[in-house]
A and B are shown apart, each in its own frame.
Chain A
Amino acid sequence: MLRVPSTPMLSALLIFLTLLIFALDTFSPLDMAIAVMYVVVVLLSASVWQRRGVLLTSAVCMALTVVSYMLTHTVVFSGAAVGRMTIGLLSIGIVTFLALRGQAATNALLARERALRRSEAFLAGTQRISKTGSYSFKVPNGEMYWSDEAARIFGFALDVAPSMERVLERTSPEDRNTVRASFEQSIRREGEVDLRHRLLLPDGELKYVQVLARPQCHEDGSCEYLGAVIDVTAAVLAEQALHRSQVQLAHATRVTMLGELAASIAHEVNQPLAAISTNGEACLRWLNRPQPEMEEARATLTSILAASQRATGVIKRIRALARRSDPQHAPLDLNTVAEESVDLVRRELDNHQVALMLSLAPGLPPVQGDRVQLQQVIINLLMNAIQAMSSCAPGQAVLTLHTQRADEGEEAEQGRVRLSVSDSGPGIPADAIPRLFEAFYSTKQDGMGMGLPICRSIIETHGGRIWVRQPAPDAPVTGATILFSLPTHEPD
């Protein structure tokens, strides 16, 4: 257990010192307890060797003391000499005991320090990897501490002392008021902190951070918020990219859908145009009579204005569907959205000899959503239903669009508004149902398999859900029903 082979000087010194003390003890004429000097050797050995080394040294020293006594005093018994030897032995023993205890304490301390260092290294490493900084914020005095990673996230040097002002300095101007309000809320000790905001670093880098903190109050009345600052930039950017591609995909399928509706749309525009031109001709003829008929002419002009308004309305609606814009979330009446959607497919219904049953519950609470995207969903469901009934006998094709409050039934549906589209077609084969909302899965010959997946992603971004309901096995009607429910908008 000779721990320090790297200190041969010290070992040599110890051996030399031991021999010197032995020589002095044995050969000097002084009647003193020179053996007491061995404690120096024991103490020094404790700083060089571990427990066994120290015990060995102590034993050697004791043995030398006894040898020295025997060499000098075996012939003549001297009580004083025995006393000196005893004192020497006792001192060596006591010092050995104390030195070992001290050494054990030091060892324990060292071990603790090592553990602490390791755990700090762990913490710093994981903080670095997970981009999570920790901080504490004392209230009410506002004293702050943060970890190195927190300093790095905020873009400060590691030796910069953190403060509320420093945090606000790096917060992007748009979010500064929110962050300041959150700090003030903490100072008032009002609850926990859970905040996502942006940072604008001096080099122009934009970061998103999620801040979570919880207060810990002490007996003296002071409180400290312990929290974490997480750099969620990567997640937010991925989320935004996903959102963008979802918007683009929704737009692309919407444009495809408009293509399928082209004949209907042309008719919807053509019809008012025909009315306008015929009314115009009629107007001229009323005016060109020998006795101009002003009342009749006025009536035709009124009709012209009404028809042009109708055409404008249709075109506006189409343009809204064709435009690629970010979803605009606003409170909407689902019934109105449904009626507008039906208007765009009315011709398809006529062309396919499909009867429409529109049952809209009056007084539905508004939903929060994007008009265009919800129209897209409803039109898509209507078109699917129309196509599903292409094999129906004449007069047998019935499409039902139903809106209602989803108060009854499951707990999760409480307070939602529900819309369902049912057809009287052959229904969906049971094995197709689980895959219905999968991308690129289609039961149609020329289907892209994007309609329902897009519907689902739109409904889900609106916080709703969409599902299929099969008719009961003993139901007299066949056909599929697709439903979606949306949470209602609660005014702030």
Chain B
Amino acid sequence: MNQIDYSDAMVYIVDDEAPLRDAISSLLRSVGMRIAAFPSVAEFLAAPRPDATSCLLLDVRLQGVSGLDFQAELNRDGVALPIIFMTGHGDIPMSVRAMKAGAIDFLAKPFRDQDLLDAIHAALLADRERRRRDHALQGVTARYATLTPREREIMALAARGLMNKQIAGEVGTSEITVKIHRGNAMRKMEAKTFADLVRMAESLGLA
């Protein structure tokens, strides 16, 4: 489960200092990673990004815009790319800020290659997991769309932990009808157990 096929993954590097950018590129290629390196945030944003497990290696201090500001910008835009920060002279407040904003790791230059590779590995794992979740959520959302309004209502109330009798009272119908709707919802949502259904409701933000 912790193995990643690097040839399917993509590592983006943004660093304005060419010598180190090239060195990191070479190191990552030597372990078989696919990389794309950019001297600036603008060039990174302009480049096409393939739909693959990926992460971003970002220098904190870039000419023009700082790495931290860029991280905030990505978060705002909903780009959920795991970020590993690199810094020439990292200070604690800066790293705390970066980690709070969701950075995977914070590496001080010069770093040990294994630390970098481990951090990238962790970032790619996190991204794969995130992508898998996103993927799963997409299925749930699609199946949820096939439910009738009454089935949706009963699914939400059931996920909130109400008994069939209470639900029947709430929506003004018989307990039998509630049972039928609930069974339909379970079937349509492809939930094997009731717990599955509750989790799906949670991921959809119903509970």
Contacts and interface: CB of A to CB of B under 8 A. Distances in A.
A306 interface: yes
A278 B24 contact: yes
Scoring B24, B26, B113 by chain A CB atoms within 10 A of each residue's CB, the highest score goes to: B26
Contacts of A310: 19
Nearest to A395: B64
A271 B26 contact: no
Interface in B10-64: 17, 19-20, 22-24, 26-27, 29-31, 61, 63
A273 B110 contact: yes
A273 B109 CA distance: 9
Interface stretch (A146-154, A262-270, A409-417, A427-435): A262-270
A299 B111 CA distance: 20
B88 interface: yes
B199 interface: no
Contacts, number: 76
B89 interface: yes
B61 A351 contact: yes
A311 to B, nearest CB: 10
A256 interface: no
Interface in A348-388: 350-351
Interface residues on A, range: 20 to 34
Contacts of B20: 271, 274-275, 278
A271 B17 contact: yes
Interface string A74-88: 000000000000000
Interface in A292-309: 293, 296, 299-300, 303, 306-307
A267 B89 contact: yes
Interface residues of B, number: 21
Contacts of A276: 23, 110
A281 B27 contact: yes
A296 B29 contact: yes
Contact of B30 (A263, A266, A273, A282): A282
B30 A267 contact: no
Given A278-B113, A282-B113, A350-B63, A299 B26 contact: yes
Contacts of A303: 19, 22-23, 26
A277 B110 CA distance: 7
A319 interface: no
Contacts of A285: 27, 30-31, 113
A307 B110 CA distance: 13
A293 B27 CA distance: 12
Nearest to A281: B113
B23 A300 contact: yes
A278 B23 contact: yes
Interface in B85-113: 88-89, 109-113
Contacts of B110: 270, 273-274, 276-278
B27 A270 contact: no
Contact of B19 (A282, A307, A350, A351): A307
Contacts of B27: 278-279, 281-282, 285
Contacts of B26: 278-279, 282, 286, 296, 299-300, 303
A279 B29 CA distance: 12
Contacts of A267: 88-89
A296 B22 CA distance: 11
A272 B19 contact: yes
Nearest to B113: A281
Given A278-B20, A350-B61, A350-B63, A270 B109 contact: yes
18 contacts: A271-B109, A274-B20, A274-B23, A275-B17, A276-B23, A278-B27, A278-B111, A285-B113, A286-B26, A286-B30, A293-B30, A296-B29, A296-B30, A303-B19, A307-B19, A307-B23, A310-B19, A350-B61
Closest 3 CB pairs of A and B: A274-B110, A281-B113, A285-B30
Given A270-B109, A275-B20, A300-B23, 18 more contacts: A263-B89, A271-B19, A271-B20, A271-B109, A274-B20, A274-B109, A274-B110, A275-B23, A277-B113, A279-B27, A281-B27, A281-B112, A281-B113, A282-B113, A293-B30, A299-B26, A307-B19, A307-B23
Interface of A: 263, 266-267, 270-279, 281-282, 285-286, 289, 293, 296, 299-300, 303, 306-307, 310, 350-351
Interface of B: 17, 19-20, 22-24, 26-27, 29-31, 61, 63, 88-89, 109-113, 116
